[in-house]
């Protein structure tokens, strides 16, 4: 075996020299950046030290017919293999252990942040693996760079959509998440800011005080309110309000574990015209409960998300988890009890900043 060491500017130059001198069968067994010895080396840019070896130097000689097409093809194949090998070696085996550990340290910080934010473990693993794979070869991996890459990946995972402006909008979800309050905020915005004719329907005749709550909002804004007790009555109410540009339908909050109640409510929604059906999720919901909510309410055919009560928590993983579990875009975020002010459009940058704890 012949082993030779080269000092070159870059890998490309090294490969050319190795091929020239050792032939196509040579393999690179080590590569690293070094300073040349002596005063001169101190001021010169760092060189690449490549150690290459060839098993049988005899085969390294040039062939008798270098222009033979088969020979050229063989050379190219071998060069391709060599390239792959070099890449593998350069990205894994020859990074000093201390740099590898530093990279892991940077990731650890972000893993911890995502865990604190209660991002689902499966999503955290996915992010960490993707970043580790794409970055393992980068020597200058700082906490800041890792954060930027994570942010970019998170933006891709999060999902928003523009306001659709469907005529019929329904608000569904578990108890007490803010369905009625959010409906009131949007009704006021449509009516007062956009000058639209708005009608409200409520299917919530189960909870004592539910109708009065909505009637208070309707009276303040002067909007018509229809209370319905059966799916058939809902059809009548829709007809009655058909002159409205916007019809907002409030539903009763149902316990996530009571599938019979959820199913009963979904019967009302079977014959709706094309509608935006908002699943309202509170930011204070536990991640594991979110899984149940997204599954058990599926029969409601909800197609968009609203996240409420962001002002009540410092843990924002729900935003990512909700979008991930349902595959649906978030449209609105609410941040307080004030009607109509405490609502805004969901925004990718804002959501990822909340989860990662960074300024935009």
Ligand X SMILES: Nc1nc2c(ncn2[C@@H]2O[C@H](COP(=O)(O)OP(=O)(O)OP(=O)(O)O)[C@@H](O)[C@H]2O)c(=O)[nH]1
Pairing of strands 2-8, 47-54: antiparallel
CA 159 to chain centre: 7
Q: By C-beta, is 106 or 342 nearer to ligand X?
A: 342
How near is the Cβ of 204 to ligand X at its closest, in Å?
6
- Which of Mg ion, ligand X, none interacts with 334 (beta carbon under 5 to 8 A by kind)? ligand X
How near is the Cβ of 205 to Mg ion at its closest, in Å?
11
How near is the Cβ of 227 to ligand X at its closest, in Å?
14
How near is the Cβ of 9 to ligand X at its closest, in Å?
60
Residue pointed to by tokens 């890459």: 149
Q: What is the per-residue DSSP string for 3-25?
A: EEEEEESSHHHHHHHHHHHH-TT
Please, what sign has the CA dihedral across residues 64, 67, 72, 74? negative
Contact of 135 with 141, CB cutoff 8 Å? yes
Contact of 139 with 309, CB cutoff 8 Å? no
Please tell me the number of Cα atoms within 13 Å of 8 on its side-chain side: 16
Q: Does 146 bind Mg ion (CB under 5 A)?
A: no
Q: What is the largest CA-CA distance in the chain?
A: 97
Q: By C-beta, is 106 or 226 nearer to ligand X?
A: 226
- Selected from 31, 167, 180, 285, the binder of Mg ion by CB under 5 A is 180
- Which of Mg ion, ligand X, none interacts with 296 (beta carbon under 5 to 8 A by kind)? none
- Which of Mg ion, ligand X, none interacts with 103 (beta carbon under 5 to 8 A by kind)? none
Distance (Å, whole) CA 33 – CA 46: 6
Terminal-residue alpha carbon distance, the chain: 57
Q: Does 326 bind Mg ion (CB under 5 A)?
A: no
Pairing of strands 27-34, 47-54: antiparallel
Q: By C-beta, is 224 or 336 nearer to ligand X?
A: 336
Contact of 198 with 241, CB cutoff 8 Å? no
Q: By C-beta, is 31 or 180 nearer to ligand X?
A: 180
Q: What is the per-residue DSSP string for 112-173?
A: HHHHHTT--HHHHHHHHHHHHHHHTT-S---HHHHHHHHHHHHHHH--B------SEEEEE-
- Which of ligand X, Mg ion, none interacts with 144 (beta carbon under 5 to 8 A by kind)? none
- Which of Mg ion, ligand X, none interacts with 19 (beta carbon under 5 to 8 A by kind)? none
With both helix axes pointing from N to C terminus, report the angle between 121-135 and 143-157 in degrees, rounded to the nearest 10: 130
Q: By C-beta, is 281 or 320 nearer to ligand X?
A: 281
Q: By C-beta, is 106 or 204 nearer to Mg ion?
A: 204
Stretch that binds Mg ion, among 137-145, 164-172, 178-186, 299-307 (CB under 5 A): 178-186
- Which of ligand X, Mg ion, none interacts with 312 (beta carbon under 5 to 8 A by kind)? ligand X
Which helix H or strand E contains 83, and what residues bound it? helix 69-88
- Which of Mg ion, ligand X, none interacts with 175 (beta carbon under 5 to 8 A by kind)? ligand X
How near is the Cβ of 154 to ligand X at its closest, in Å?
23
Please, what sign has the CA dihedral across residues 223, 187, 311, 290? positive
Q: By C-beta, is 118 or 342 nearer to ligand X?
A: 342
- Which of ligand X, Mg ion, none interacts with 322 (beta carbon under 5 to 8 A by kind)? none
By CB under 6 A, name the binding residues for ligand X.
Answer: 175-181, 204, 207, 210, 253, 308-309, 311-312, 334-337, 342
- Which of Mg ion, ligand X, none interacts with 181 (beta carbon under 5 to 8 A by kind)? ligand X
Contact of 324 with 291, CB cutoff 8 Å? no
Q: By C-beta, is 86 or 170 nearer to ligand X?
A: 170
Q: By C-beta, is 141 or 262 nearer to Mg ion?
A: 262
Residues within the interface to Mg ion (CB under 5 A): 179-180
């Amino acid at each position: 075996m012949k082993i030779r060491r080269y000092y070159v500017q870059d890998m490309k130059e090294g490969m050319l020299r190795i091929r020239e001198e050792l032939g196509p069968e040579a393999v690179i067994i080590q590569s690293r950046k070094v300073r040349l010895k002596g005063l001169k080396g101190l001021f010169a840019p760092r060189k690449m030290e490549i150690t290459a070896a060839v098993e049988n130097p005899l085969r390294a000689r040039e062939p008798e017919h270098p222009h033979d097409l088969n020979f050229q093809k063989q050379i190219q194949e071998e060069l391709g293999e060599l390239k792959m090998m070099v890449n593998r070696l350069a990205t894994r085996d020859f990074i000093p252990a201390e740099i590898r550990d530093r990279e892991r340290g940077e990731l650890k910080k972000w893993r911890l942040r995502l865990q604190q934010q209660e991002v689902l473990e499966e999503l955290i693993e996915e992010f960490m693996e993707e970043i580790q794979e794409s970055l393992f070869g980068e020597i200058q991996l700082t906490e800041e760079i890792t954060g930027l890459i994570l942010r970019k990946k998170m933006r891709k995972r999060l999902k928003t959509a523009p306001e659709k402006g469907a005529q019929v909008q329904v608000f569904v979800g578990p108890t007490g998440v803010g369905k009625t309050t959010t409906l009131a905020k949007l009704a006021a915005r449509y009516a007062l800011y956009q000058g639209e004719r708005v009608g409200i329907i409520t299917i919530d005749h189960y909870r004592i005080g539910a109708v009065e709550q909505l009637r208070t909002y309707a009276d303040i804004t002067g909007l018509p309110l229809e209370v319905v007790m059966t799916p058939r009555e809902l059809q009548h109410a829709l007809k009655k309000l058909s002159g409205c540009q916007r019809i907002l339908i409030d539903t009763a909050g149902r316990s996530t574990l009571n599938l019979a109640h959820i199913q009963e409510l979904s019967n009302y929604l079977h014959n709706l015209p094309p509608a935006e059906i908002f699943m309202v999720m509170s930011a204070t919901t536990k991640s594991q409960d979110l899984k149940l909510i997204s599954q058990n309410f599926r029969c409601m055919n909800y197609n968009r998300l609203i996240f409420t009560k962001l002002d009540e928590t410092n843990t924002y993983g729900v935003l990512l988890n909700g979008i991930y579990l349902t595959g649906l875009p978030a449209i609105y975020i609410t941040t307080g009890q004030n009607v109509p002010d405490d609502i805004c459009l969901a925004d990718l940058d804002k959501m990822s900043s909340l989860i990662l704890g960074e300024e935009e």
